Structure 1
Amino acid sequence: MTAPHAREIICWEPAALAQRLRGQKHLTLLESVARQEHLARYSFLACNPVQSLRVEKGRAFLDDVARDEAPLALLDRLMADNAQAHLAHLPPFQGGFAGFISYEFGQALEPSLRLPGFRPIVPDMVLHRYDTVIAFDHMQERAWIIARHEQDADELERLLKAKPAPLGSAVIEGWSSNFTRAAYEAAIARTVEYILAGDIFQANITQMFSAAIPQGFDAFAFYKVLRQTNPATFSCFLDYGDVQVASSSPERLLNCMNGKIEARPIKGTRPRDADAARDSALIMELATSRKDRAENVMIVDLLRNDLSRVCQPGSVRVPVLCGLESYANVHHLVSVVTGELLREQTIGGLVAAAFPGGSITGAPKFRAMEIIGGIEQAPRGVYCGSIGYLGFNGAVDLNIAIRTAQFSGGVARVQGGGGITARSQPAAEYEESLTKVKRIMQAFAP
């Protein structure tokens, strides 16, 4: 097994280098904007992939050629064919696949799942193979080009010398929701009825805000505003031609390194307040909320079950239960679930076990997804799916794509919502859905 080559370069802000690479094919920026030593230490930037995997209606296409293999089986084979050794003491993603898995890909993982036949707004999955990446270590303030071939590192370094492309407008106006307030509150009440009837324990219900993309709008310019307005641990910008995505997600679906798995489900939210005393009161209210803690614990149990399918017996643990984390716009309850991957298990198997994340579906997962589809009556696309990387060295990091804007078919879409339990109050849930999208909408404002 060969190892890639690493070349240290001047450590710029990742977004600044991404601006120099605009116009290159399939630009992918995975950025830790709200930086933390253990959770959000690294960022990655890549473009011009050597291979592309796309999934539409459950069928895989490799470089636009249809394949008969199941998507995750094909991905596992490609990962095995290109396996490479890990360069020690460097950021974990050193080449591999990166991109998004849409929420609707969950249909392919559970054949018995019955979702409405929505017209998709993005493919089920788009993953690009990058043999060359720029990797940033923000704690050390260092950056490297990591490449399978030295000449590819030369070419990327040449591209980085380009002048930054000028930015267009980040403004979009004229937003509308697929729910009125009354309809959304009725949807919450209906979900509570499902719960009280014993159909489910919890479901995550969202509303979608959409607007036409005006001429001159620049999705990357918007991302640069968003990363300042709502800095997050798992931010990203993807420019895949027909689909562009800007995300400021604080939530990790799963991380895997050396067979050690970590998931970080978020359940329980309060808005931030500029007044310190009021902000502290909101923290206390969240920390002592029986409803929010119950919501979080239910999803932790679901995740423990998901991971136990692919982890060594007895290895699944919950080192943090309902821990408090504060971000620019909200306070959250966050738990940590860990495990040790079975030696014979594949990355595709891990994704199949965990996707989509329980925190944005509900419990039981697949019945909750059916109820969500019936209530929301719209596809989610990248939102509530995952964005991240799957490395040829076995390293994996995938977010849950909340706090995310997606642009496709001439339409911008932003979604927000929350977990519904038997204790949910429709009016409060409506207000929470607005809190979730507040900073994103501010980034679109004039």
Structure 2
Amino acid sequence: MEQSRFDQLAAQGHNRIPLTREILADMDTPLSAYRKVAEGAWSYLFESVQGGEKWGRYSIIGLPAKTILRVRGQQITIETDGVEVESIHSDDPLSWIEAYRQQFDVAQCEGFPRFTGGLVGCFGYDTVRLIEEKLTEIPEADPLNNPDIILMVSEEVLVFDNLSGKLHIVIHMNPADEGALAQGQQRLDEITAQLNRPVTPLASTPNRAISESDFVSGFTQDKFESAVERIKEYIVEGDVMQVVISQRLSIPFQAPPLNLYRALRTLNPSPYMFYLNLED
């Protein structure tokens, strides 16, 4: 992008301007590209298989994000570069997140992939309590202490075109930063250089057989049966039509998490596969 075009977009009021570079990546795979430039905390990989027989055209790789949003109940924290910079109380965290998203005015440029970044992460099951007033009763504390919502502000993305073998590098620059365009071009050079290096092999871990008895549930048999009886009462009273009881099953796992994702995508390639590295 020329400086004049960059300045023109900035003058239109956009506070994020995307810069892109297209490179040939037919010798890479989305996984190898992820490992070269994105493997680490606050990164992600989105893939998809269509019809159970062929890969979706695009795979999305999110490079490590600098800014992280966490929501626990009505408390929101913002972390930048590993440091908490703001803590906010909100009666409506979902509306707050939407307002936060809208503060980014991203210039729309022709020829760019359909997805070039944004808020990426996960909403826990208990997020429904922010929507359904009947469910506002405080649940039991999560023994894992996971946030209800955790989102990465994804501003550096690779879009892997599995059909053409091309890869689009997309980064977003704030025109208010001094020398933003030059810094962006330098960053594109850095990412390109990372993609041109060989990928290091993943550490191997020995395989071992496991059985159902190896898994630990946080739901005892008595509590499960009690929950079933309570659900029957809700159905009779007309409060619900259907309920699916879930339980958390855990087992010690020492291998790199990416190895688990690789195994799952091999055993069960499916639509909307995702790998999120949320630090812990």
Regarding TM over 0.5, the answer is yes
**8 Å CA contact 1:8, 1:143 repeated in 2:** yes
Q: Computing the radius of gyration over CA atoms, which structure comes out larger, 1 or 2? A: 2
**The one of 90, 112, 118 aligned to 2:141:** 118
| Letter in structure 2 aligned against 1:203 | V
**8 Å CA contact 1:6, 1:146 repeated in 2:** yes
**8 Å CA contact 2:123, 2:150 repeated in 1:** yes
- The CA distance in 1 between the partners of 2:45 and 2:165, in whole Å, is 17
**Residues 212-227 of structure 1: pairs in structure 2 closer than 5 A:** 212-213=252-253, 216-227=254-265
**Residues 255-266 of structure 1: pairs in structure 2 closer than 5 A:** none
**Residues 332-371 of structure 1: pairs in structure 2 closer than 5 A:** none
1:153-178 deviations in Å (ceiling 9; x for gaps): 22222333253352343868421334
**The one of 21, 30, 33 aligned to 1:7:** 21
- The CA distance in 1 between the partners of 2:150 and 2:251, in whole Å, is 24
- The CA distance in 2 between the partners of 1:35 and 1:143, in whole Å, is 24
Aligned in 2, Cα 1:74/1:116: closer, same or farther, shift over 3 Å?
closer
**8 Å CA contact 2:66, 2:153 repeated in 1:** yes
Higher relative strand content: 1
Task: Tell me, yes or no, if structure 1 residue 163 matches structure 2 residue 215.
Answer: no
**8 Å CA contact 1:100, 1:127 repeated in 2:** yes
Identity of aligned residues (%): 26
Task: Tell me, yes or no, if structure 1 residue 200 matches structure 2 residue 222.
Answer: no
1:386-439 deviations in Å (ceiling 9; x for gaps): xxxxxxxxxxxxxxxxxxxxxxxxxxxxxxxxxxxxxxxxxxxxxxxxxxxxxx
**8 Å CA contact 2:38, 2:63 repeated in 1:** no
**8 Å CA contact 2:38, 2:61 repeated in 1:** no
Aligned in 2, Cα 1:221/1:3: closer, same or farther, shift over 3 Å?
same
- The CA distance in 2 between the partners of 1:30 and 1:95, in whole Å, is 12
**8 Å CA contact 1:41, 1:137 repeated in 2:** yes
**Residues 102-141 of structure 1: pairs in structure 2 closer than 5 A:** 102-110=124-132, 112=134, 113-121=136-144, 122-141=146-165
**8 Å CA contact 2:40, 2:279 repeated in 1:** no
Task: Tell me, yes or no, if structure 1 residue 71 matches structure 2 residue 72.
Answer: no
| Letter in structure 2 aligned against 1:166 | L
SS of residue paired to 1:143: strand
Aligned in 2, Cα 1:154/1:229: closer, same or farther, shift over 3 Å?
same
- The CA distance in 2 between the partners of 1:66 and 1:170, in whole Å, is 43
User: Which runs of 5 or more residues in structure 2 are unaligned?
Assistant: 1-13, 173-183
1:269-304 deviations in Å (ceiling 9; x for gaps): xxxxxxxxxxxxxxxxxxxxxxxxxxxxxxxxxxxx
Residue in structure 2 matched with residue 20 of structure 1 by the alignment: 36
**The one of 211, 221, 233 aligned to 2:251:** 211
- With the length of structure 2 as denominator, give the TM-score of the two structures: 0.72
Task: Tell me, yes or no, if structure 1 residue 152 matches structure 2 residue 187.
Answer: yes
Aligned in 2, Cα 1:182/1:78: closer, same or farther, shift over 3 Å?
closer
Aligned in 2, Cα 1:106/1:186: closer, same or farther, shift over 3 Å?
closer
**8 Å CA contact 1:46, 1:133 repeated in 2:** yes
| Letter in structure 1 aligned against 2:88 | R
- The CA distance in 1 between the partners of 2:17 and 2:38, in whole Å, is 29
- The CA distance in 2 between the partners of 1:241 and 1:224, in whole Å, is 18
- The CA distance in 1 between the partners of 2:138 and 2:247, in whole Å, is 17
**The one of 91, 94, 109 aligned to 2:113:** 91
Aligned in 2, Cα 1:182/1:125: closer, same or farther, shift over 3 Å?
closer
User: Which runs of 5 or more residues in structure 1 are unaligned?
Assistant: 243-446
| Aligned-pair Cα RMSD in Å | 3.1
CA apart distance, 1:93: 1.5
**8 Å CA contact 2:52, 2:269 repeated in 1:** no
SS of residue paired to 2:65: coil
1:214-273 deviations in Å (ceiling 9; x for gaps): xx421111111111101111111111222xxxxxxxxxxxxxxxxxxxxxxxxxxxxxxx
Aligned positions, number: 239
- The CA distance in 2 between the partners of 1:164 and 1:154, in whole Å, is 21
